Amino acid sequence: MDIVDVVALGESMIALRPSRPGRLADVPSFDRGVGGAESNVVCALAAAGHTARWVGRVGADGFGDHLVGTIGSYGVDVSRVRRDPHRPTGVYFRTAGDRSGDAHEVAYYRAGSAACAMSVDTVGLDAVRAGRVLHLTGITAALSADCLHLLRELTAPRPGRPLVSFDVNHRPRLWTDGDGPRILRELARGADLVFVGEDEAAEVWGLDGVHAVRAAIPEPEVLVVKQGAHGATLFDGERVLHVPAPRVDVVAAVGAGDAFAAGFLSATLRGLPARDRLRHGHLTAAAALTVPGDLAVPPARDHADRLAALDDTAWGRLRLGPGWTQSPAAPEEVRTP
């Protein structure tokens, strides 16, 4: 089994978005794309030059073909994706309520999907563990009892396991039995690296502030608490570091969390220091925020490295807008006031 930089396991779905602004009830047609927290991460990592594998399960249908083909086109290894002849590929519809806000309509059609049948017996654990990093999210745990058992197996202590990265990714609609907060905390405490939003931790666990989050999840060596436009705080052993986010001219407020995880993981794989890991997370999130849709190509590595190396004053002036990832300009010229 070839060892890759990152393996991600989870459900990817067909994303259908209105071809023009409006309510789902009113728009006449939709554009097809792909969406899935875990596959978003490995697509961004592959585009950034890392070897990446997505492990999942799709229907033996045209939508499944499109998912596998699209994710594979980013350079992601999709050879371990399984086809289910009895269950369909999941689908969701989403429309932004305004250009830059979080208001939107979402309609999921994922109950009984092929991904719900992922289990320790159906995914091939050797392929899942054959990475330097294994990236998981709380979404998978909510899909079915088999999926939860699978995540418990993958986050359990095991000699020689890869670095386990876990994004809490709380989805209230998926947790219908009230067990979500307890299970998500359990899985987070079994990981080596955890991503969670400060507002998310308040919603799920009633925690107030980044230090309360760390107190509730003390086990992971690294904890990243994302704070939206205010930045992110890193707990790494005994070290605590806050790095502000650059200002961003938002096109669509989707996909930023997955992109942040991808940027942070990329910098981690490269052995970069803590400040640069957070800055690369912010830059990759900005790449997602300045394009429509969930998937965004990250900035070229040398471009991102130049921006991440700015001094604190220049970083504080940084403002990123649509097209910034392709900018040939010097760092101080990239949309700074």
pLDDT value of residue 327? 59
| Mean pLDDT (the chain, rounded) | 92
Backbone angles phi, psi at 297, to 5 degrees: -75, 125
Q: Does pLDDT of 61 surpass 90?
A: yes
Whether the CB-CB separation of 244 and 318 falls below 8 Å is answered with no
Residue range 270-314, pLDDT digits in tens? 999 999 999 999 999 999 999 877 677 889 999 999 999 999 999
**Whole-number pLDDT of residue 103:** 55
Query: Domains along the chain?
Result: 4-11+37-85+115-320 (3.40.1190.20)
The pLDDT assigned to 72 comes to: 98
87: pLDDT strictly greater than 80:
yes
Q: Which of 119, 155, 135, 106 is CA-nearest to residue 37?
A: 135
What is the distance between the alpha carbons of residues 337 and 332, in angstroms, rounded to a whole number?
10
For residues 225 and 201, the answer to whether their CB atoms sit within 8 Å is yes
Q: Within 10 A of 90 (CB to CB), how many other CB atoms are there? A: 27
Q: Are 154 and 130 in contact (CB under 8 A)?
A: no
Partners of 225 in the β-ladder: 196, 233
Whether the per-residue pLDDT at 329 is higher than 80: the answer is no
Bridge-based pairing of strands 4-9 and 131-137 is parallel
In whole angstroms, give the CA distance from residue 223 to residue 60. 38
pLDDT above 80 (res 144)? yes
**What percentage of the chain reaches a pLDDT higher than 90?**
82
User: In which band, very low, low, confident or very high, does the pLDDT at 23 lie, cut at 50, 70 and 90?
Assistant: confident
Instruction: Residue 176: count other Cβ atoms within 10 Å of its Cβ.
Output: 9
Closest CA relative to residue 284, chosen from 311, 270, 305, 269: 305
Looking at the predicted structure, is the pLDDT value of residue 336 above 60? no
Q: How distant, in Å, are the alpha carbons of 47, 322, 324 from that of 328?
A: 18, 14, 9
* Enclosing H/E stretch for 31: strand 30-35
Q: Are 89 and 102 in contact (CB under 8 A)?
A: no
Q: What residues act catalytically?
A: 258
Closest CA to 210 of 245, 165, 240, 236: 240
Least confident stretch, 13-22, 62-71, 221-230, 257-266:
13-22
Q: Per-residue confidence at 328, pLDDT binned at 50, 70, 90?
A: low
pLDDT-based confidence at residue 331 (cuts at 50, 70, 90): very low
